[in-house]
Amino acid sequence: MQIKLQSDNYHVLLNTLGAELNSYSNPSGNEYVWNSDPTYWLRSSPLLFPTVGNVRNGETVIKDHIYQMPKHGFCKESEFEVTEQTEDSVTFLLKANEETLKHYPYDFELYLSYHLNGSTLSMDYRVINKDSDLMYYHIGAHPGFMCPVNNGENIENCILRFEKEENFISYEYDIKNLEFNFDHKVSQKAEGNTLPLTISMFDQDAVFFEHTNSHYVSFVNAITGKGVSVYYPDFESLAIWTPAGGKAPFLCLEPWNGSGIFHQDDDIFAHKHGILTLESGKEKAYHLEISLIE
């Protein structure tokens, strides 16, 4: 089911399937979120939980049992319930159920609230451990944004501008074995806090910057300065991704707490790189903001 939010003639479209952001447009009708065209990517902004990225061979060990775990978790295929809704806000909830327990043997509640305030969309995540055991998890976001380009331009006409200087050293992804490796790093060509985007930098899938100094990044046209920004104060790392080849007209900015599997990792979920823990009866909140730069 689709949910519409509006504020000052800005419009957001959300879906109860995955609690996913499908559209964000300004008063002029300009669309900023990827349209889920399956030619390139049939998603637009999946919620990543309880894992970020993949586990080895799609299997992981939790509580001494082997579980099948989909890449980025199961939220994208889960129907969320709506617990609160106003003209400019909505709260989605996913509770542990028969289907989630097939992949993840914990009793949990996961909330995602959206609040639209004109050119800024706030997203608030809340994880609650309803289980009697210590709960292990990752959480992340994966919004895809239309490239802020004019006719004849592509992603190479865009830049990422961070709030602070970064070393721009990323882990190289091994496409064949579907894993990162602590020993294989790439130094991206950048200046200070600005990263020019190139088609070739995505030849090996996502570019993963672990523990960024910044928690604010802008994806803009290098000439016009127009685009979007993402503020991610409660997320440690940032990955960026667009399909290889440079033909897809979008870029994903992905704040992560966690990551895909590393070559050095074993298959125990509690040992997964960047794993988070939550004690029984406790909860944890994470905040994210998307702002349009017009």
Which CATH number is 236's domain given? 2.70.98.10
The pLDDT, as a whole number, for residue 243 is 97
The pLDDT, as a whole number, for residue 39 is 96
Of the chain, the end-to-end C-alpha distance in Å amounts to 30
Number of domains in the chain: 1
Mean pLDDT of 20-35: 98
The pLDDT, as a whole number, for residue 151 is 86
Q: Could you tell me the pLDDT band of residue 81, with boundaries at 50, 70 and 90?
A: very high
Q: Could you tell me the pLDDT band of residue 215, with boundaries at 50, 70 and 90?
A: very high
Q: What percent of the chain has pLDDT over 70?
A: 100
Domain span including residue 226: 2-28+47-293
Q: Could you tell me the pLDDT band of residue 108, with boundaries at 50, 70 and 90?
A: very high
The pLDDT, as a whole number, for residue 20 is 99
Residue 14 lies in a domain: yes
Residue 156 lies in a domain: yes
Residue 234 lies in a domain: yes
Residue 41 lies in a domain: no
152 pLDDT more than 90: no
The pLDDT, as a whole number, for residue 80 is 99
Give the Cα separation of 23 and 36 in Å (integer). 10
Residue 40 lies in a domain: no
Give the Cα separation of 287 and 109 in Å (integer). 17
Would you say the pTM of this structure is higher than 0.85? yes
**73 contacts 67 by C-beta, under 8 angstroms:** no
Residue 21 lies in a domain: yes
3-state SS track over 92-118: EEEECCCCHHHCCCCCEEEEEEEEEEC
In the three-class reduction of DSSP (H, G, I as helix; E, B as strand; rest coil), residue 15 is classed as strand
Residue 37 lies in a domain: no
Residue 134 lies in a domain: yes
**180 contacts 170 by C-beta, under 8 angstroms:** no
**177 contacts 263 by C-beta, under 8 angstroms:** yes
What number of residues does the chain have?
A: 294
43-46's contacts with Cβ under 8 Å and 24+ in sequence apart are 43/76, 43/142, 43/144, 44/20, 44/143, 44/144, 45/20, 45/21, 45/141, 45/142, 45/143, 45/144, 46/18, 46/20, 46/72, 46/75, 46/76, 46/142
The pLDDT, as a whole number, for residue 222 is 97
260 pLDDT more than 90: yes
Residue 219 is encoded by which pair of tokens? 């994806």
**HSE (side-chain half, CA atoms, 13 Å) at 139:** 21
**Mean pLDDT, the chain, as a whole number?**
97
